[in-house]
């Protein structure tokens, strides 16, 4: 989620990605759509609700297939929960110094470029 040149990141609290920053997300449950999964995971991990506007990209990272959505905040209060140790809005200028999961920085820069944030 990008808003005002900031991206919403979570610091993972569980292995195998404990201590690394990433975009909120997770696995689909049951017959859930990828869009519903994105909204649920965002709310579970950060407390933020989203208005999803569309698909930004579909990528493979390691053994995972990711659907990357874009949207805007639609409510909620920022609070890390579920497997997120912390959750923060991070300015795009402060992305480079963070230890992130594989592919996260590239996804952020792709999103910022495509959405005209940089």
Query: What is the tens place of the pLDDT at every residue in 29-51?
Result: 999 999 999 999 999 999 999 99
Q: Taking the model in full, what pTM does it have?
A: 0.90
Query: What's the confidence (pLDDT) of residue 1?
Result: 85
Q: Are 115 and 68 contacting, i.e. CB atoms less than 8 angstroms apart? A: no
16-21 long-range CB contacts below 8 Å, 24 or more apart? 17/101, 18/85, 19/85, 19/99, 20/99, 20/100, 20/101, 21/90, 21/98, 21/99, 21/100, 21/101, 21/104
Q: Is the peptide bond before 112 cis (omega within 30 degrees of 0)?
A: no
Question: In terms of residue numbers, what domain contains 8?
Answer: 2-110
* CATH number of the domain to which 56 belongs: 3.90.79.10
Task: Please give the tally of structural domains in the chain.
Answer: 1
| Residue 117 domain-assigned (yes or no) | no
| Residue 116 domain-assigned (yes or no) | no
| Residue 115 domain-assigned (yes or no) | no
| Residue 47 domain-assigned (yes or no) | yes
């Amino acid at each position: 989620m990008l808003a005002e040149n900031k991206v919403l990141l979570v610091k993972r609290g569980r292995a195998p990605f404990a201590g690394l920053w990433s975009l909120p997300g997770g696995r689909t449950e049951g017959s859930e759509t990828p869009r519903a999964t994105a909204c649920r995971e965002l709310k579970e991990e950060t407390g933020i609700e989203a208005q999803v506007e569309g698909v930004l990209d579909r990528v493979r990272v390691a053994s995972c297939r990711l659907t990357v959505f874009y949207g805007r905040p639609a409510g909620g209060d920022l609070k890390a929960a579920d497997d997120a140790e912390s959750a923060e809005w991070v300015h795009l200028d402060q992305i480079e110094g963070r230890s992130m999961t594989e592919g996260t920085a590239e996804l952020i820069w792709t999103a910022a470029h495509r959405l005209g944030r940089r």
